[in-house]
Amino acid sequence: MSIKTAPILLLYQKRVFWLVFLVFGSLLSGLGIAHFEDLIAAHIVLVFFLPLLVGSGGNAGSQSATLMVRALATGDVHFKDWFYLLGRESLVALCLGGTMATAVSILGYFRGDILVAVVLALSMMGIVLMGCLIGMSLPFILNRMKLDPASASAPLVTSICDASGVVVYLLIASQILTLS
């Protein structure tokens, strides 16, 4: 059925479950932040970079998911290609993460200090790598479960990357900033 001619109710039904589910899933980001509130209070500069980092993970992951959804829809890739594609996506993610880490660490140095720059660089690398791998894998998983990867992948990737990005960032910060 064409999206141009599908009944509004059908379009709504195809999307509403995931979006409502993810509203509650987003609470995990808040729990992650609450867990590290003492660290955040001691290093308030971390808050400045939080949206940038988790947004970058979600963006990279959504981009990967979009490419995989399209490749699955056109028959360009199949479930048996997953492991091979995981390796390729890891290399792309490391390149993307390295470039983005360099940029954000420069900002971190001027906004904070060298330790903040290191926290940001390592966090960006980890968050982008994680986002890309989640984004690449989730369409395969949803497809295998007979769920529509087109309607669920990007919002699900974004929510997973937001929550896990918060934890990765603040875990790295807690390890590095307690050394000073």
Domain harbouring 146, CATH code: 1.10.357.20
Domain for residue 1, yes or no? no
Residues 6+ apart with CB under 8 A from 177: 39, 42, 43, 115, 116, 119
Domain for residue 2, yes or no? no
Domain for residue 12, yes or no? yes
Per the structure, the count of domains in the chain is 1
Query: Considering only CA atoms, which of 37, 36, 18 is closest in space to residue 150?
Result: 18
Q: What is the pLDDT of residue 70?
A: 95
Residues 86 and 93: beta-carbon distance below 8 Å: no
CA atoms of 150 and 122, how far apart (whole Å)? 31
The range of the structural domain enclosing residue 21 comes to: 8-177
Domain for residue 139, yes or no? yes
Can you give the three-state secondary structure of 43-87, one letter per residue? Answer: CCHHHHHHHHHHHHHHHHHHHHHHHHHHHHHHCCCCHHHHHHHHH
Query: Considering only CA atoms, which of 76, 68, 176 is closest in space to residue 131?
Result: 68
Domain for residue 3, yes or no? no
Question: Does residue 138 sit in helix, strand or coil?
Answer: helix
Per-residue pLDDT of the chain (180 residues; tens, 9 = 90+): 788 899 999 989 988 988 898 888 888 888 999 999 999 999 999 999 999 999 999 999 999 999 999 999 999 999 999 999 999 999 999 999 999 999 999 999 999 999 999 999 999 999 999 999 999 999 999 999 998 898 778 888 999 999 999 999 999 999 999 876
Q: What is the pLDDT of residue 55?
A: 95
Residues 133 and 90: beta-carbon distance below 8 Å: yes
Q: What is the pLDDT of residue 180?
A: 64
Q: Residue 13's CB: how many other CB atoms inside 10 A?
A: 10
Q: What is the pLDDT of residue 23?
A: 87
